[in-house]
């Protein structure tokens, strides 16, 4: 009986990699700030997220470790954190500007996530693009 349950636990551990095993390696990502609306050249930063961590966490740790990167966000009741400003430039309802969240995959394809910085979970070697855009 004891042997059976030991075998069962071992099988479960094998079946659920990433769920029951500890992943401690940080996931490397880059963050690119693009502001062609104001004519600024893109600036690239290296960062990392913890295993299955959210983008907001990676942005906060980048801000803590790099004095040249800063951002602010507001809290939306329904959708969570809304990226309000990056490096001192804020989106404005009046001017119809906002910080768009885009992601360049390692294969070069650029996607526009259907969630914000508080829900997006970056994968290894993704380039997170924060692009000042018009709507």
Least Å distance, CB 48 to ligand B12, is 21
- Answer for which of 44, 72, 76, 92 binds ligand B12 (CB under 6 A) is 76
- Answer for which of 49, 99, 122, 128 binds ligand B12 (CB under 6 A) is 99
Backbone angles phi, psi at 28, to 5 degrees: -75, 140
Contact 14, 111 (CB under 8 A): no
Binding mask 31-70 for ligand B12 (x = CB under 6 A): ----------------------------------------
Cβ proximity to ligand B12, 51 vs 79, nearer residue: 79
- Answer for which of 52, 70, 105, 112 binds ligand B12 (CB under 6 A) is 112
Determine the Cα angle at 125 with ends 109 and 79, to 5°: 75
Contact 130, 32 (CB under 8 A): yes
Beta strands (DSSP E) in the chain are: 27-35, 40-49, 71-76, 80-86, 89-90, 97-104, 110-111, 127-134
The residues binding ligand B12 (CB under 6 A) are: 76, 79-83, 93, 98-101, 112-117, 119, 135
């Amino acid at each position: 009986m004891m042997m059976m349950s030991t075998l069962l636990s071992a099988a479960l551990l094998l079946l659920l990699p990433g769920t029951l095993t500890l992943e401690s390696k940080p996931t490397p990502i880059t963050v690119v700030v693009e502001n062609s609306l104001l004519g600024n050249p893109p600036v690239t930063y290296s960062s990392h997220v913890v295993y299955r961590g959210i983008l907001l966490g990676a942005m906060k740790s980048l801000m803590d470790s790099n004095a040249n990167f800063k951002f602010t966000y507001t809290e939306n009741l329904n959708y969570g954190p809304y990226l309000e400003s990056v490096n001192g430039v804020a989106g404005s309802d009046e001017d119809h500007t906002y910080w768009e969240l885009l992601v360049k995959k390692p294969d070069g394809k650029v996607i526009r996530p259907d969630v914000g910085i508080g829900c997006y979970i970056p994968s290894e070697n993704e380039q997170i693009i924060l692009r000042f855009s018009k709507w």
